[in-house]
Amino acid sequence: MEPSSTRPTVLFIDDDADVLTSVRLLLTRHDMEVLTARGPAEGLGLLGGTPVDAVLLDLNFSRGATAGDEGLGCLADILLQDPDAAVVIVTGHSGVNIAVAAMRAGAADFVTKPWSNERLVATVRTAVELRRRRRQAGAFQAENAALVRHAFPETRIIGVSPAMTRLRSLIERAGPTEANVLILGEHGVGKELAARAIHQASPRVSGPFIPVDLASLSEAHFESELFGHRRGAFPEADADRPGRLVAAHGGTLFLDEIGNLPLGLQVKLLSAIERRQITPLGGDRPVPLNARIVAATNLPRARLYSEDVFRADLLYRLNTVEITVPPLRDRGDDILELARHYLKHYARRYGRPEKKPLGEAAALALKGDAWPGNVRALRHAMERAVILSEGPAYEPRDFVLSGAAPARSRSWASSATPETLNLVKSEKTLIVQALQKHHYNVSHAARDLGLTRAALYRRMEKHGL
């Protein structure tokens, strides 16, 4: 539940009426709403019916009690009721060890009696900020999960070719570890799918999987998007925002197109990974980084290892395990298995016959194509065929193919004269040549063609690439 007021609401649970009154007066002067309770049962009742931003919790309530068991039990009940609650433990000097145990159990901080008013107010404000940050991060993760479910209805890796068997073996061995992973592969081969499989095989599977397309981030927005920002950090920052690194807490951060990151920004990312903490823009306190890093790039391996393109020290941090996702042209009969899978998937989506067969001629055409756009291009081709095919079986004419044989897709340096003056066909040929020349790096291909990335993606979609 969200607080109904912009003023933070604090719940103070203590058995001393005088202490409750003095703290209520103090925090009210600092623009906070204060609720008070004389014991755990009353406090939990208030917490269940009223949204709060922070909880101040005494450790002992019975006469002569010093072990803190009542407070620790109440802490456990609060966190069971609200896992994101920010609880500040209140204890005497002799109870510091118990307070530390409470922090291990999930408390945000502690203060000791007697306290200075400045220290108490600062601690409560920090707890309120922590609670709000947790709430924002939770909303961010929920939004991301919904988008992922819509965009990635299928997450299992399909195919039994030797190349995919090797890929599965690497994922099965690397997934259960905490090692950072670098995924290499051409445009459209399914690098994010491999990253999700690593996350699913890891101890962090119950945490979030947060993808970041680094190629889409400008230098001006890089720090804000990854590290987050505080309100007022720049003119457009009208509210606090947790960065992707915070949103990935306890889970996996997937850095896609890492090879396109400018050298200057590589330094900032390296610093965050080495220190395992980040400081939001406009903030003055570092936030712990608790996320596994899985990165991916479509740059050729030799170019990635060139120091004028990518920092060796950052690469060392990212490629504890290096995995290459094979291109579709090297996957043999996987092409037909994938084709049938997507034909069935899109038939269900569009209400078309799921058992419509793939004709023999169509199967030969699909298997014989180079698929320069890899699995992404195949998926688009199957969707188009499901929508437009009219016969009792899928035929070659139902599919938009590249027209290139698999062997030709390995050589990107060709600059053959177009065989047709048809503008649509020539445009597709030029796009394929540009993608092959730049090893399917969309940013570089778009620059070579004189287009923006968005414009090139639109043309690739139009041509089934």
Instruction: Catalogue all structural domains in the chain, each as residue range(s) with its CATH number.
Output: 9-135 (3.40.50.2300), 163-326 (3.40.50.300), 327-397 (1.10.8.60), 411-465 (1.10.10.60)
Alpha carbon of 385 to those of 44, 335, 465: distances in Å?
A: 59, 15, 14
Euclidean distance between CA atoms 129 and 86, whole angstroms: 9
**Per-residue pLDDT, 114:** 80
> What whole-number distance in Å separates Cα of residue 207 and Cα of residue 239?
25
What's the CA gap between 83 and 412, in Å, rounded?
A: 54
Give the per-residue pLDDT at 172. 92
The whole-number pLDDT of residue 413 equals 32
Q: Please report the pLDDT score of residue 170 as a whole number.
A: 93
pLDDT at 329: 92
Angle at 213 between CA 258 and CA 229, to 5 degrees: 100
Distances (CA, A) of 175 to 169, 178, 203, 323: 10, 8, 8, 11
Q: What is the dihedral of CA 12, 18, 19, 25, to 10 degrees?
A: 70
Dihedral pair phi/psi, residue 296, rounded to 5°:
-145, 150
The two structure tokens encoding residue 244: 């992707």
**Calpha distance 457→437 (Å, rounded):** 17
> 287-319 pLDDT, tens per residue?
778 889 999 999 888 888 888 889 999 999 998
Per-residue pLDDT of the chain (465 residues; tens, 9 = 90+): 344 447 889 999 988 888 889 899 999 999 899 999 888 888 888 887 778 999 999 888 877 667 778 888 888 888 888 888 889 988 875 566 777 778 878 888 888 878 888 888 988 988 888 888 777 766 665 555 555 544 444 557 899 999 999 999 999 999 999 999 999 999 999 999 999 999 999 988 888 898 888 877 777 677 777 887 777 667 666 677 777 887 888 889 999 999 888 888 888 888 888 888 877 777 777 777 888 999 999 988 888 888 888 999 999 999 899 999 999 999 988 999 999 999 999 999 999 999 999 999 999 999 888 898 999 999 999 999 999 999 999 999 999 887 665 543 343 333 344 455 566 667 888 888 887 777 667 777 887 787 887 788 778 877 767
Question: How high is the pLDDT of residue 175?
Answer: 92
Residue with tokens 């938009």: 400
> How far is residue 246's CA from residue 250's CA, in Å, rounded to a whole number?
9
pTM attached to this predicted model: 0.58
For residue 344, the model assigns a pLDDT of 94
Check residue 394 and give its pLDDT.
94
> Rounded to an integer, what distance in angstroms lies between the CA atom of residue 194 and that of residue 201?
11
What confidence score (pLDDT) does residue 342 get?
94
Per-residue confidence (pLDDT) for residue 153, from 0 to 100: 45
CB 431 within 8 A of CB 449: yes
Which tens digit of pLDDT belongs to each residue from 178-187?
A: 999 999 999 9
Q: Is 23 helix (H, G, I), strand (E, B) or coil?
A: helix
Q: Are the C-beta atoms of residues 59 and 46 closer than 8 Å to each other?
A: no
- In angstroms, the CA 158 to CA 323 distance is 17
CA 312 vs CA 231, 275, 303, 315, 318: distances in Å? 35, 17, 12, 5, 10
Identify whether the C-beta of residue 316 lies closer than 8 Å to the C-beta of residue 355: no
Residue 432 in contact with residue 439, Cβ under 8 Å?
no
